[in-house]
């Protein structure tokens, strides 16, 4: 596979992986810790798995980093974050579930800071360092963020919680990560969003093409506030301004506040976490891809869940209203044979097969689409709405795109596509979607249709990049403005029987597609 499918410390069967934890770069090695059940393919017995890499692509399994062995984490070593201090020291805060199932925050640090692989970890003897404050339920207090420096020289963290149905992010200041002060108010709270977990908070530059250290702030900076909503299991974010002195984050647009507006990914993607790569000046996002088949099927196959390809994050300076997510550059090292298709015409209502190689189940696809201009200009507006309904539904300007992981007969296929609509005021709206309804002949799997709108600026061609990796498809539209991760279970469109097609289900408009398609090498784990 292109990714590390089972971050399992060497045991390739009977395991579950979930939330990425404490990602960081330390002494030349990328580290990923993760929620891990080494004894079964379902939730339970949660420890911290650990893997390292030089390039974010080829990984080495290491021994389990932390296990539930104290009263304060005996029911699970849950999600946490790493902070590298100004003098280079590394500390890790994580949530433990106590012997009474109370969620508390604990401190851990490397047993040997000289060891670049960070094999051994020590838990602070004074744990827990934080317990739920008054007014917060004992099971609603989890997932500390990476810390950032305040103007007063304190380290500040945020922790997810809720009060009734209002999701909130609590804030604490500390000097030594052993004693903490709860701040008045919250970093942000949004009514009706429920429990906030796996909160993340970080700056993005409005000027540079680089990522920023977590503590950076100033006039050329926006701050991303992100939460994973326990109620619907999706990751939401919003852009806004952070007042360091007041400790308040304010969204740019309250109508798309945290939990009610933009999502990192409109598919199967959850519990994500970022870190700052200081060597390459970039912010990298990790996300968990959960299973969408039955628990019985997971037990039968002996494993469940995996990690998405790591992504870089930048502020979208062209729109000013969203971030851009893009697979890390290192993925391109896996590219093998390249196929180029230039200006392929796809008439309305037609399907065109693309002969790329003997197998099409591991591909990196870059595609651009041009829509017939006469059809665009002649389209009449309508009050009808489109919300990523079936790819078989035909409209004047779509859907059109690619059928990946498809068999010759098209009995199995995963369409990834655009659809263009026009309202009665003459405004165009472009949707980017992935249709799972025909992705598998299995009966116990999710077959919904995923997607959302994607901003398209005047003069831009429609573009998408798709990473196909056996049973995972990660799709990025318009440079990463909208992303969709598909977790599918093909039974026929596998290995040499997996094919790729262009399709155009529009009733009026022809399209012209130009593509570059690379077959990909697996990223073997050690």
Measure the CA–CA gap between 72 and 124, rounded to whole angstroms.
11
Measure the CA–CA gap between 403 and 360, rounded to whole angstroms.
11
Give the three-state DSSP class for 518: strand
List Cα–Cα distances, 29 to 32, 117, 118, 332, 468, in angstroms. Answer: 10, 7, 10, 19, 27
Both tokens assigned to 264: 């990192």
Q: Which is catalytic among the residues 19, 257, 293, 435? A: 19
Measure the CA–CA gap between 95 and 141, rounded to whole angstroms.
8
The H or E element containing residue 378 is: helix 373-378
Distance spanning both ends of the chain, measured CA to CA = 13
Buried b (16+ CB within 10 A) or exposed e, 405-439: bbbeeeebbbbbbbbbbbeeeeeeebbbbbbbebb
Measure the CA–CA gap between 8 and 519, rounded to whole angstroms.
27
List CB contacts of 116: < 8 A, sequence separation 6 or more.
26, 27, 28, 29
Strand partners, 130: 105
DSSP string, 180-193: EEEPSS-SEEETT-
Helix residue ranges, H only, 128-237: none
19 is catalytic: yes
Is 489:476 a contact under the CB 8 Å cutoff? no
Long-range contacts of 210-213 (CB under 8 A, 24+ apart): 210/281, 210/282, 211/276, 211/277, 211/281, 211/282, 211/283, 211/284, 211/312, 211/313, 211/314, 212/276, 212/283, 213/276, 213/278
Cis status, amide bond into 128, omega within 30 of 0: yes
Is 363:338 a contact under the CB 8 Å cutoff? no
| Three-state secondary structure string covering 214-228 | CCCCCCCEEEEEEEE
List CB contacts of 246: < 8 A, sequence separation 6 or more.
none
What are the catalytic residues?
Answer: 19
């Amino acid at each position: 596979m292109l990714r590390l499918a089972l971050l399992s410390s060497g045991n390739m069967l009977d395991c579950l992986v979930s939330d990425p934890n404490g990602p960081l770069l330390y002494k030349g090695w990328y580290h990923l810790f993760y929620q891990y059940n080494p004894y079964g393919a379902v939730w339970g017995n949660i420890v911290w798995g650990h893997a390292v890499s030089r390039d974010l692509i080829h990984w080495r399994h290491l021994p389990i980093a932390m296990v539930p062995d104290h009263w304060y984490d005996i029911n699970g070593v849950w999600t946490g974050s790493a902070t590298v201090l100004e003098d280079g020291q590394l500390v890790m805060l994580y949530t433990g579930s106590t012997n009474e199932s109370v969620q508390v925050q604990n401190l851990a640090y490397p047993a040997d800071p000289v060891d670049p692989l960070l094999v051994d970890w020590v838990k602070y003897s004074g744990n827990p360092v934080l317990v739920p404050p008054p007014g917060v339920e004992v099971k609603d207090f989890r997932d500390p963020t990476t810390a950032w420096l305040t103007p007063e020289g304190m380290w500040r963290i945020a922790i997810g919680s809720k009060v009734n149905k209002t999701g909130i992010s609590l804030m604490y200041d500390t000097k030594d990560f052993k004693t903490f002060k709860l701040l008045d108010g919250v970093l942000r709270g949004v009514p009706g969003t429920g429990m906030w977990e796996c909160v993340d908070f970080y700056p993005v530059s409005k000027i540079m093409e680089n990522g920023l250290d977590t503590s950076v702030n100033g006039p050329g900076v926006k701050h991303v506030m992100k939460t994973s909503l326990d109620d619907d299991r999706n990751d939401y974010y919003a852009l806004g301004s952070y007042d360091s002195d007041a400790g308040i984050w304010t969204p740019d647009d309250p109508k798309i506040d945290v939990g009610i507006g933009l999502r990192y990914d409109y598919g199967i993607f959850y519990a994500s976490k970022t870190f700052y790569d200081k060597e390459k000046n970039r912010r990298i996002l990790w996300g968990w891809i959960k299973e969408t088949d039955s628990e019985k099927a997971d037990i039968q196959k002996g494993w469940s869940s995996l990690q998405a390809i790591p992504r870089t994050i930048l502020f979208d300076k062209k729109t000013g209203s969203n971030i851009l997510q893009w697979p890390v550059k290192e993925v391109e090292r896996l590219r093998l044979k390249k196929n180029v298709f230039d200006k392929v015409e796809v008439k309305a209502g037609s399907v065109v097969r693309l002969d790329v190689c003997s197998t099409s189940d591991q591909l990196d696809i870059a595609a651009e689409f041009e829509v017939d201009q006469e059809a665009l200009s002649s389209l009449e507006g309508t009050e009808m709405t489109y919300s990523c309904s079936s790819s078989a539904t035909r409209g004047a300007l779509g859907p059109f795109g690619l059928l990946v992981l498809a068999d010759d007969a098209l009995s199995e296929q995963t369409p990834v596509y655009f659809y263009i609509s026009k309202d009665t005021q003459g405004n165009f709206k472009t949707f980017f979607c992935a249709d799972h309804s025909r992705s598998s002949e299995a009966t116990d799997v999710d077959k919904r249709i995923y997607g959302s709108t994607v901003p398209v600026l005047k003069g831009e061609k429609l573009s998408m990049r798709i990473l196909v990796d056996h049973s995972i498809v990660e799709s990025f539209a318009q440079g990463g403005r909208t992303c969709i991760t598909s977790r599918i279970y093909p039974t026929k469109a596998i290995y040499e029987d997996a094919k790729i097609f262009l399709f155009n289900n529009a009733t009026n408009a022809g399209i012209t597609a130009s593509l570059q398609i690379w077959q990909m090498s697996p990223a073997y784990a050690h």
